[in-house]
């Protein structure tokens, strides 16, 4: 279980730490499980929040808490990606901008838009809210596996480089498919949810390929946030009937 602990430590602020050297290839398969853990925590709290406040208020707290538990790790990547890629800059200049710790105007707009869309969508989600709060963080974090298989790493060094030094292990796909299979309990609406999920991932990765021909840790964070937002929006389609 130490590799699950390493994944939790890497992707969240939860107080789990392993004294052994970090092993990216062995921690990677557990990324979707970390999403399940975070989602389960949010889902349990959501039940209490809905008893205290209207759904709109509870949804705000849910989204803020998910960002906080993740250490705003992926949101930071989304902001850096927006700053670097949204504009007519060269590949090298875009990589340089993404490495800058400062957040520009495009980054602020991207982060704010993402949070607002998540909140509005979650507030509209219907009776499957509890299950979706568990599954969606897991599905979004599974996109890291797809990204690593699809695009090469774009830097000589960086937070994400170690994950690309070895092929994605088969066990990662075995674990990553679990939240996909769990969506079956949603019935036919699972097809809608997974269709939007696949489309969002393909569109973002296709844009990354065309724009940069590679991926970085920031861009993976951006992918996670975009896919998570797309999943929530899909769940809210039709007035939250999902």
Q: Tell me: the pLDDT tens digits for 178-196?
A: 999 999 999 988 999 999 9
If you write DSSP's letter for every residue of the chain in order, what string do you get?
Answer: -HHHHHHHHHH--SS---SSPP-HHHHGGGHHHHHHHHHHHHHHHHHHHHHHS-HHHHHHHHHHHHHHHTTTHHHHHHHHHHHHHSSS--HHHHHHHHHSSS--HHHHHHHHHHHHHHHHHHHH--TTHHHHHHHHHHHHHHHHHHHHHHS-B-SSSSTTHHHHSSPPPHHHHHHHHHHHHHGGGGTTHHHHHHHHHHHHHHHHHHHHHHHTSSB-HHHHHHHHHHHHHHHHHHHTHHHH--
Q: Tell me: the pLDDT tens digits for 40-53?
A: 999 999 999 999 99
pLDDT exceeds 50 at position 37: yes
Question: Three-class SS string for 109-170?
Answer: HHHHHHHHHHHHHHHHCCCCHHHHHHHHHHHHHHHHHHHHHHCCECCCCCCCHHHHCCCCCH
Average pLDDT over residues 106-112: 97
Residue 126 · residue 241 · CB < 8 Å: yes
Domain ranges of the chain: 2-240
Whole-number pLDDT of residue 121: 97
Whole-number pLDDT of residue 16: 83
Average pLDDT over residues 174-180: 92
Average pLDDT over residues 201-227: 97
Percent of the chain clearing pLDDT 90 (strictly above): 79
- Both tokens assigned to 14: 């939860």
Whole-number pLDDT of residue 51: 96
Q: Tell me: the pLDDT tens digits for 120-146?
A: 999 999 889 999 999 999 999 999 999
Q: Which residue has the higher pLDDT, 158 or 163?
A: 163
Average predicted confidence (pLDDT) for the chain: 93
Q: Tell me: the pLDDT tens digits for 50-107?
A: 999 999 999 999 999 999 999 999 999 999 999 999 988 899 999 999 999 899 999 9
pLDDT exceeds 50 at position 242: no
pLDDT exceeds 50 at position 31: yes
């Amino acid at each position: 279980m130490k590799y699950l602990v390493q994944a939790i430590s890497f992707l969240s602020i939860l107080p789990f730490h392993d004294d052994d050297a970090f092993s990216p290839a062995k921690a990677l398969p557990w990324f979707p499980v970390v999403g399940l853990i975070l989602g389960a925590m949010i889902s349990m709290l959501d039940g209490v929040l809905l008893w205290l406040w209207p759904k709109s208020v509870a949804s705000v707290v849910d989204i803020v808490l998910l960002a906080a538990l993740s250490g705003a790790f992926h949101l930071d990547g989304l902001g850096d990606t927006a700053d670097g890629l949204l504009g007519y800059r060269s590949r090298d200049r875009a990589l340089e901008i993404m490495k800058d710790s400062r957040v520009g105007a495009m980054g602020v707009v991207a982060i704010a838009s993402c949070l607002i869309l998540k909140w509005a969508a979650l507030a509209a989600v219907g009776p499957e809210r509890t299950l979706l709060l568990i599954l969606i963080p897991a599905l979004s974090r599974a996109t890291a596996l797809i990204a690593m298989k699809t695009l090469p790493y774009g830097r000589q060094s960086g937070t994400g480089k170690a994950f690309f030094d070895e092929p994605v292990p088969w066990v990662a796909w075995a674990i990553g498919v679990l939240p996909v299979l769990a969506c079956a309990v949603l019935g036919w609406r699972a097809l809608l949810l997974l269709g939007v999920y696949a489309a969002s991932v393909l569109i973002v990765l296709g844009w990354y390929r065309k724009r940069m021909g590679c991926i970085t840790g920031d861009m993976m964070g951006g992918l996670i946030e975009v896919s998570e937002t797309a999943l929530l929006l899909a769940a809210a389609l039709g007035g939250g009937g999902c």
